[in-house]
């Protein structure tokens, strides 16, 4: 049984709930303004139902298509006579929209069995994964003896922190979802009214059943999105402490247990989200199919076009809630993250003392950990759910325009859901690779396991897609915009292009965001000269990283349109999303690992626990970037497919000579090009709003942290103590000061709910107002501009932020040590070029020498073999004689020899690493100083049983903070150099150093890039497009699609 938070622990629920309920009416009023604005359009132009209104706002309606030219008339396309609406009516408009349903009993059974069967398997597997995670106890005494020793107090502290994070996450989601419920009700009413106002035979009519069904699907989509986000967040919060507990195990078992816990918890969200959303969408489709069915004797006819038009509301509901989840959650998490980082790691608590990333005495730390869940888990889940729903709806809507697909029966129409069904099974089978077949047993295995998981999943889907395409689809299909008949192999190629294009984008993203590769290391090393150069390098990396992914997306679009038109683009998007279960598992794994590390730090667990969680988190940052790459790529394809669906739906109400899906959209048209430019500005406008919101909230957070350190008695002093000092005070029975975590959670919550309204209103209103006032051609330009701009900006922002984050992790890992020269000014400094060449061989924490340490000693019976290279004292071997300064001969003993046996020499070349048994990463030993002093060399790999291990530099610098604070400050600020094993003097560039502070500044700048604005841009392009699809008939009812200002060039009916 989980212990609850003690009464003296501030409760985020108690402190937030009253504030939020008092302000809820403001949120509702803001949403109501959206409805009033749209209703005003309808009220002002109430005569839009007139088939041929002559004059409005002083401007005459065009009575003939403005695009018609003398050449077109010469070819026989005569303009219809004025008032001859029937003659102008396109084929199918106002005529028979119902088609004969060719699906027999088996044709309906197979989709139901496959979709519901695979969905049930996905839910069952998610339940199994949750069960395996739940077996882990938070009480150390209930675990086996392999657990590292943990005190009772540490276990109790872990439970308290776990409960506090969980309560904070639940309280924020409740506050946010209250707003979302109000939005669903208000905007659902707007959908009901405006979608009901449509056209038929050129006349505006009211179809309340169409509006009601679209509203129903919108509500269901919104509630499903809320459910998906809630499941993911609660599972993540439930698993973070258990991941930290598993990291307490020694060696390979600790690595395997902690990785598997985080990965399986991510899988719970991945499989449950795909299964639930797929089954609910299919159930809606079945219900709507019955409504749009007519029986003529024994013949069933179905109006598939209106069926899937109404079903598009499902994607709208998902994306609308995802917008609030991404923006609200992103503002919450980054306000807390930036505020906590700046307070603890840059500003510090005075006297040059800085706090660790997740110090329990930083008031903003709990809000930071809560934010990891509400933004990176709940927000991401809603985002990818929206992509799935929109891609499926777009594909089915465009497919319903093909007579061949309609005649192919129900199975062919719901082909997109077959892809998702197969994805669940393939991801499930492959998931055992990372957890069982190739488990993680050391740090280097983490990224490898995740990449293999993603690659093999894509390989399995390549095979599955072939069988699905050839079995389900008709042999030939006529697709709008494609001259030749489309075969199943064409659509298979489209799906594979999306699948492997997404995989390639993911791996390219990894290259630009992982500190295992050169780009991120270059960004980190740029911090040598301060935060400014680190930021400049990071921005350049982000812009550069967008080049190849954009090229890949362009190639996918080109091939898909050539092979199968806009239907091919929608199938390519579904191909990219077919591995969604695995992608979500990998993506959610990151925030869980990050939270686990935070909990380990706050409970002040053993350093080995934090080393594991830090490694998991660093890999999680990379996998999160890979997930964002997938999300951006799929969002671009989904958005384009939705633009195609919008054009298709508008064309159903146009004369044949005016159909946009046949005639195309004139890019050089004044209205189209004008809104193309304006649409490209929307992502920048949106990013400005969200980033400023993060800045304002973070500023308030920093001030609050400073207030608590100043006003809470003893908090600043407690925060500046070492772990040993705090442990001593606890042992003496003293009570240590605690921060007011709840106040910081309240600040982030209020800021996120307040600041998310303006960006959301911009995205929701822009297509509605554009279509109402300027017409459907303006909407096409708006959507195309927003799409092209959002893709570039989203990739660059996400990768820039990811690179800054992992450059900070690289610095904290010690990767920058040995790279930056300390200039003594005594004429003995090396050249910069020689220094860097040496640094390429000797770098990291292991290259640093502990000043003043005594040589290690070892005793071993003569004649016994050594397990590795020997350790010995080398008199006269000084820094001046070590590489790269000169070649030297170093007497060594061969493996297998004992002391006193003959030795041999190892030649150390001028430019390279020592040859023989000396590793390039030597364990540091005795003190380097004058040439008369002895230099101890310990050969890597030596094993002497009872040998005394030399102290590590990391341990030494940590103790120096207590024993000699002034010298510690000088080393951290770069005023005193440290020696390396090859005799160079370098600037210390590890954790809490000045270089680290520069990396932290870059990371904090990048936080809203990668976790607020960047990911939310996916929803910008998708939400604008799906809104346009849902309201397409309403736009067409206003002056035949020319808008209130009659700005378009579409012929009136």
Interval 293-317 mean pLDDT = 90
pLDDT digit string, tens, across residues 485-494 = 999 999 999 9
Of 351-365, 397-411, 547-561, the least confident: 351-365
pLDDT of residue 76: 40
Specify the higher pLDDT residue, 942 or 748: 748
pLDDT of residue 35: 47
Residue 1052 per-residue DSSP state: P
Of 118-122, 762-766, 881-885, 1028-1032, the least confident: 881-885
Interval 189-197 mean pLDDT = 95
Q: What percent of the chain has pLDDT over 90?
A: 46
Interval 342-371 mean pLDDT = 77
pLDDT exceeds 90 at position 26:
no
Interval 706-712 mean pLDDT = 87
pLDDT of residue 352: 61
Tell me the β-bridge partners of 980.
848
pLDDT of residue 72: 34
C-alpha distances in Å from residue 779, one per residue of 60, 271, 707? 22, 36, 49
pLDDT of residue 1038: 92
Interval 235-240 mean pLDDT = 91
361 within 8 A of 355, measured Cβ to Cβ: yes
Q: What percent of the chain has pLDDT over 70?
A: 78
226 within 8 A of 319, measured Cβ to Cβ: no
Extract the tokens encoding 808.
């900070």
Helix or strand (DSSP H, E) at 405? helix 403-407
Specify the higher pLDDT residue, 24 or 1033: 1033
Interval 1007-1034 mean pLDDT = 93
pLDDT of residue 258: 92
pLDDT exceeds 70 at position 833:
yes
pLDDT band of residue 357 (cuts 50, 70, 90) is: low
Distance CA 1018, CA 642 (A): 13
Interval 43-70 mean pLDDT = 35
| E-strand stretches of 143-257 | 197-200, 203-206
Specify the higher pLDDT residue, 587 or 787: 787
342 within 8 A of 1004, measured Cβ to Cβ: yes
CA dihedral 764, 768, 774, 776 (to 10 degrees): 100
C-alpha distances in Å from residue 510, one per residue of 433, 802, 951? 20, 9, 35
Which string of DSSP letters, residue by residue, matches 639-687?
Answer: HHHHHHHHHHHHHTTS-GGG-HHHH---TTSHHHHHHHHHHHHHHHHHH
pLDDT exceeds 70 at position 82:
no
pLDDT exceeds 70 at position 879:
no
Which string of DSSP letters, residue by residue, matches 678-714?
Answer: HHHHHHHHHHHHHHHHHHHHHHHHHHHHHHHHHHSTT
| E-strand stretches of 466-608 | none
Interval 516-523 mean pLDDT = 94
pLDDT of residue 140: 57
Interval 825-853 mean pLDDT = 87
pLDDT digit string, tens, across residues 109-164 = 999 999 999 999 999 999 999 999 999 988 755 444 444 444 455 677 788 888 88
pLDDT of residue 273: 93
Specify the higher pLDDT residue, 485 or 357: 485
Interval 205-221 mean pLDDT = 95
pLDDT of residue 1052: 54
pLDDT digit string, tens, across residues 325-350 = 889 988 998 888 888 888 876 766 66
On average, the pLDDT of the chain sits at 80
pLDDT exceeds 90 at position 659:
no
pLDDT digit string, tens, across residues 958-991 = 888 888 989 999 999 999 999 999 889 999 999 8
Distance CA 1001, CA 524 (A): 12
pLDDT of residue 153: 55
pLDDT exceeds 70 at position 45:
no
Return all residues near 532 (Cβ < 8 A) that are at least 6 apart: none
pLDDT exceeds 50 at position 317:
yes
pLDDT band of residue 924 (cuts 50, 70, 90) is: very low
Interval 312-329 mean pLDDT = 92
pLDDT of residue 856: 40
pLDDT digit string, tens, across residues 70-79 = 333 333 444 4
pLDDT of residue 96: 53
pLDDT of residue 29: 47
Distance CA 750, CA 22 (A): 11
Return all residues near 149 (Cβ < 8 A) that are at least 6 apart: none
Specify the higher pLDDT residue, 352 or 551: 551
pLDDT exceeds 70 at position 655:
yes
Decide: residue 645, CB within 10 A, 0-12 exposed, 13-18 middle, 19+ buried. buried
Specify the higher pLDDT residue, 780 or 656: 780
pLDDT exceeds 70 at position 431:
yes
pLDDT of residue 425: 96
Specify the higher pLDDT residue, 655 or 848: 848
pLDDT of residue 396: 93
pLDDT exceeds 80 at position 627:
no
Specify the higher pLDDT residue, 183 or 952: 183
Distance CA 660, CA 1049 (A): 11
């Amino acid at each position: 049984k989980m212990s609850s938070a003690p009464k003296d622990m501030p409760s985020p629920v108690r402190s937030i709930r009253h504030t939020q309920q008092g302000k809820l009416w403001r949120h509702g009023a803001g949403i109501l303004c959206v409805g009033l604005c749209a209703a005003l359009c309808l009220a002002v132009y109430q005569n839009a139902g007139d088939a041929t209104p002559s004059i409005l706002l002083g401007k005459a309606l065009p009575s003939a298509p403005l695009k018609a030219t003398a050449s077109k008339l010469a070819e026989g396309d005569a303009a219809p006579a004025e008032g001859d609406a029937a003659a102008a009516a396109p084929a199918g408009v106002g005529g028979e929209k119902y088609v004969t349903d060719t699906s027999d009993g088996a044709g309906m059974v197979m989709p139901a069995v496959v979709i519901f069967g695979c969905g049930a398997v996905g839910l069952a597997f998610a339940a199994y994964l949750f069960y395996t995670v739940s077996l882990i106890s938070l009480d150390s005494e209930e675990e086996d003896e392999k657990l590292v020793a943990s005190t009772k107090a540490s276990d109790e502290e872990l439970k308290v922190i776990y409960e506090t994070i969980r309560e904070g996450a639940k309280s924020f989601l409740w506050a946010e979802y209250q707003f979302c419920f109000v939005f669903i009700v208000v905007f659902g009413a707007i959908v009901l009214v405006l979608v009901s106002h449509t056209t038929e035979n050129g006349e505006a009519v009211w179809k309340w059943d169409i509006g009601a069904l679209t509203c129903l699907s919108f509500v269901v989509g919104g509630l499903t999105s809320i459910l998906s986000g809630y499941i993911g967040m609660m599972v993540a919060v439930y698993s973070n402490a258990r991941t930290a507990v598993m990291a307490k195990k020694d060696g390979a078992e600790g690595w395997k247990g902690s990785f598997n816990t985080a990965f399986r918890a991510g899988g719970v969200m991945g499989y449950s989200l795909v299964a639930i959303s797929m089954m609910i969408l299919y159930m809606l489709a079945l219900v709507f199919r019955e409504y749009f069915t007519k029986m003529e004797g024994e013949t069933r006819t179905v109006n598939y076009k209106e069926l899937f038009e109404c079903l598009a509301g499902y994607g709208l509901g998902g994306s609308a809630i995802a917008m609030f989840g991404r923006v609200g959650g992103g503002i919450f998490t980054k306000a807390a993250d930036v505020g906590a980082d700046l307070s603890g790691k840059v500003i510090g608590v005075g006297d040059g003392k800085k706090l660790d990333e997740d110090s329990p005495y930083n008031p903003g730390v709990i809000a930071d950990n809560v934010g990891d869940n509400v933004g990176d888990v709940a927000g991401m889940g809603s985002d990818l759910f929206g992509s799935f729903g929109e891609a499926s709806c777009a594909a089915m809507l465009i497919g319903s325009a093909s007579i061949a697909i309609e005649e192919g029966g129900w199975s062919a129409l719901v082909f997109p859901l077959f892809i998702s069904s197969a994805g669940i099974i393939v991801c499930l089978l492959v998931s055992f690779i990372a957890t069982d077949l190739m488990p993680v047993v050391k740090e280097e295995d983490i990224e490898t396991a995740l990449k293999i998981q993603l690659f093999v999943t894509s390989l399995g889907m390549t095979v599955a897609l072939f069988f699905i395409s050839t079995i389900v689809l008709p042999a030939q299909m006529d697709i709008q915009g494609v001259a030749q008949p489309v075969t199943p192999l064409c659509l298979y190629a489209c799906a594979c292009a999306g699948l492997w294009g997404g995989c390639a984008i993911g791996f390219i993203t990894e290259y630009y965001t992982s500190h295992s590769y050169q780009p991120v290391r270059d960004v980190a090393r740029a911090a040598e000269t301060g935060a400014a150069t680190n930021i400049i390098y990071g921005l350049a990396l982000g812009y550069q990283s967008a080049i190849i992914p954009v090229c890949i997306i362009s190639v996918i679009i080109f091939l898909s349109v050539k092979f199968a038109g806009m239907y091919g683009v929608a199938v390519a998007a579904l191909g990219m999303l077919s591995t969604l279960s695995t992608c979500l598992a990998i993506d959610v794994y990151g925030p869980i690992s990050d939270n686990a590390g935070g909990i380990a730090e706050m409970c002040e667990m053993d350093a080995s626990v934090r080393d594991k969680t830090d490694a998991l988190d660093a890999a999680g940052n990379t996998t999160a970037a890979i997930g964002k790459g997938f999300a951006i790529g799929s969002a671009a394809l989904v958005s384009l497919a939705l633009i195609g669906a919008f054009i298709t739906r508008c064309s159903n109400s146009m004369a044949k000579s005016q159909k946009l899906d046949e005639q195309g959209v004139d890019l050089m048209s004044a209205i189209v090009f004008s809104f193309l430019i304006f649409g490209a500005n929307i992502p920048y406008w949106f990013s400005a709003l969200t980033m400023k919101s993060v800045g304002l909230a973070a500023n308030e957070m920093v001030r609050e942290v400073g207030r608590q350190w100043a006003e809470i008695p003893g908090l600043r002093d407690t925060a500046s103590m070492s772990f040993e000092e705090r442990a001593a005070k606890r042992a003496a029975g003293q009570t240590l000061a605690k921060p007011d975590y709840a106040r910081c959670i309240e600040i982030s919550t209020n800021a996120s709910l307040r600041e998310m309204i303006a960006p959301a209103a911009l995205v929701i209103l822009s297509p509605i107002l554009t279509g109402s006032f300027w017409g459907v051609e303006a909407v096409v330009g708006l959507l195309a501009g927003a799409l092209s701009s959002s893709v570039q900006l989203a990739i660059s922002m996400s990768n820039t932020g990811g690179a800054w984050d992992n450059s900070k992790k690289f610095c904290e890992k010690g990767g920058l040590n040995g790279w930056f020269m300390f200039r003594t000014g005594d004429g003995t400094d090396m050249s910069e070029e020689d220094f860097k060449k040496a640094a390429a061989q000797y770098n990291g924490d292991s290259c640093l020498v502990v000043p003043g340490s005594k040589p290690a000693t070892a005793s071993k019976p003569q004649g016994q073999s050594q397990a590795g290279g020997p350790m010995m004292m080398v008199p006269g071997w000084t820094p001046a004689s070590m590489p790269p300064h000169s070649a030297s001969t170093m007497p060594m003993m061969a493996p297998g020899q004992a002391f006193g046996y003959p030795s041999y020499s190892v030649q150390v070349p001028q430019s390279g690493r020592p040859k023989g048994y000396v590793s390039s990463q030597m364990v540091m030993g005795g003190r380097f100083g004058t040439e008369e002093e002895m230099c101890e060399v310990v050969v890597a790999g030596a094993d002497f049983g009872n040998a005394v291990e030399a102290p590590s530099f990391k341990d030494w610098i940590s103790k120096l903070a207590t024993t000699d604070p002034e010298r510690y400050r000088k080393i951290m600020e770069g005023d005193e150099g440290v020696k390396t094993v090859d005799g160079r003097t370098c600037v210390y560039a590890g954790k809490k150093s000045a270089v680290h502070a520069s990396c932290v500044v870059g990371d904090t700048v990048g936080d809203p890039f990668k976790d607020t604005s960047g990911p939310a841009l996916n929803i910008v392009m998708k939400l604008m497009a799906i809104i346009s699809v849902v309201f397409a008939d309403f736009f067409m009812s206003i002056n035949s699609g020319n808008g209130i200002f009659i700005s378009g060039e579409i012929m009136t009916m």
